[in-house]
């Protein structure tokens, strides 16, 4: 086939909605945004053209509904691996500037770092990669090698067990790409504390790095406080509360493994574990029991899992958050604080404020916003893609 015809077949032609998305700088193109699909293999890098033939971007093709992840805007064809190296370097510089001193952080946060389909979490010198786009997955070894060129690493582990991989035709697998698979949880310094992190079996890539700096927001009120840490996972808030002199901490999570890890992390940091209590189970049930006991806390932390992965489930999410907020507020002593977070993409900051207001009205509590929580600098949201802004929260003071 002549070169010209091959090029014509290899391109994606955008319809009006697709062209508009590209103009706005959105990195995701869906099937409904194109009028002609390219003839190419999943994972190929392809040009995106408008109806009039003008070439406006380059992206990675995939067979799923989200069929193109844009890597670069403009007509110039990027070299995929050169682009990866440059963006990985830039992302690391950004972390060194905005997360100084951190040894564990998210090095690459997909779209926010211009690398849709890549999540890279660093724990000391171990990197955990999630490659959720075929265009990266099929070069997994090369991708790992590029990260190791940018920073000295002892191991790069592929942790591909997230949702939606099947739609991309990517197998679920957890394996070393470089170095050895650690036989047991590794030790990593996270926000000043030593933690055991199970990078192969723990939740996310082993830790919720996105909230690691949040517990420090309560530093000035932990001393002497009775703290309820709901959805504690392996204890970021619990560790900080104990270290800052909390009188007691009750950590609640449905994962026994997470609570066991929290207990080990307390020992690892030589903190006084006698002030900590662990309750394993469904937080909704446990909060009902605490209601019946009329237990009181000075600080209540609510960091639940996402309740509304999809827009259609917003009402259920609203009800879930409201119940937690009402029960949390009821457990507070006068003058106490509730820290409430949502990591649901589809649940906006204003929806969360609405829920908190409605809970305060039900409980007849006079609440004020002490401070607001948003995504940390190593989880950058992209202005052009509001969906990438997922983390929000508030600390509220209650009279």
Q: What is the pattern of x (binds ligand SAM, CB under 6 A) and - over residues 254-293?
A: xx--x-----------------------xx----------
> Least CB distance from residue 322 to ligand SAM, whole Å?
15
Q: Which is closer to ligand SAM, CB of 118 or CB of 339? A: 339
Q: Which of the stretches 12-20, 194-202, 299-307, 355-363 binds ligand SAM when contact is defined by CB under 6 A?
A: 299-307
Q: How many residues bind ligand SAM (CB under 6 A)?
A: 18
Q: Which of the stretches 101-109, 253-261, 268-276, 388-396 binds ligand SAM when contact is defined by CB under 6 A?
A: 253-261
> Least CB distance from residue 215 to ligand SAM, whole Å?
7
Question: Would residue 97 show up in a list of annotated catalytic residues for this protein?
Answer: no
Q: Cα 358 to the chain's mean position, in Å?
A: 27
Q: Of 232, 342, 344, 389, which one interacts with ligand SAM (CB under 6 A)?
A: 232
Q: Which is closer to ligand SAM, CB of 136 or CB of 237? A: 237
- Decide: is 195 part of the binding site for ligand SAM (CB under 6 A): no
Q: Of 237, 307, 321, 347, which one interacts with ligand SAM (CB under 6 A)?
A: 237
- Decide: is 375 part of the binding site for ligand SAM (CB under 6 A): no
Residues 322-351 that bind ligand SAM (CB under 6 A): 343
Q: Which of the stretches 65-73, 233-241, 243-251, 314-322 binds ligand SAM when contact is defined by CB under 6 A?
A: 233-241
Q: Which of the stretches 76-84, 152-160, 227-235, 382-390 binds ligand SAM when contact is defined by CB under 6 A?
A: 227-235
Interaction site with ligand SAM (CB under 6 A): 203, 208, 211, 231-233, 236-237, 253-255, 258, 282-283, 303-305, 343
Active site positions, annotated:
343
């Amino acid at each position: 086939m002549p070169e010209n015809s091959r090029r014509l077949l290899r391109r994606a032609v955008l319809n009006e909605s697709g062209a508009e998305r590209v103009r706005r700088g959105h990195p995701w193109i869906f099937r409904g945004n194109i009028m002609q699909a390219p003839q190419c293999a999943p994972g190929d890098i392809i040009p995106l053209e408008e109806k009039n033939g003008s070439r406006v971007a380059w992206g990675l093709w995939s067979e799923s509904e989200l069929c193109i992840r844009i890597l670069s805007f403009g007509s110039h064809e990027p070299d995929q691996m050169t682009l990866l190296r440059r963006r990985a370097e830039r992302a690391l510089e950004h972390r060194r500037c905005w997360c100084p001193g951190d040894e564990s952080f998210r090095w690459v946060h997909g779209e926010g770092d211009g690398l849709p389909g890549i999540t890279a979490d660093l724990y000391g010198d171990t990197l955990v990669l999630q490659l959720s786009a075929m265009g990266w997955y099929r070069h997994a070894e090369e991708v790992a090698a590029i990260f190791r060129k940018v920073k000295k690493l002892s191991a790069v582990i592929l942790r591909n067990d997230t949702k939606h991989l099947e739609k991309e035709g990517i197998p679920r697998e957890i394996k070393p790409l470089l170095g050895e698979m650690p036989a047991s949880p590794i030790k990593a310094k996270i926000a000043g504390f030593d933690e055991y992190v199970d990078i192969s079996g723990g939740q996310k890539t082993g830790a919720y790095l996105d909230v690691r700096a949040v517990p420090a927001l309560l530093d000035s009120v932990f001393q002497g406080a009775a703290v309820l840490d709901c959805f504690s996972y392996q204890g970021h808030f619990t560790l900080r509360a104990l270290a800052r002199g909390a009188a007691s901490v009750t950590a609640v999570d449905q994962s026994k493994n997470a609570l066991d890890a929290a207990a080990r992390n307390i020992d690892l940091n030589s903190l006084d574990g006698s002030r900590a209590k662990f309750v394993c189970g469904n937080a909704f049930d446990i909060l009902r029991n605490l209601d019946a006991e009329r237990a009181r806390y000075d600080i209540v932390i609510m960091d639940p899992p996402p309740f509304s992965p999809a827009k259609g489930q917003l009402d259920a999410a609203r009800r879930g958050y409201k119940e937690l907020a009402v029960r949390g507020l009821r457990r507070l002593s006068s003058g106490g604080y509730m820290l409430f977070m949502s990591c649901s993409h589809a649940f906006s900051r204003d929806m969360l404020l609405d829920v908190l207001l409605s809970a305060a009205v039900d409980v007849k509590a006079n609440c004020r916003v002490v401070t607001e929580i948003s995504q940390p600098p190593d989880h950058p949201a992209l202005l052009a893609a509001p969906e990438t802004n997922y983390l929000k929260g508030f600390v509220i003071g209650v009279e």
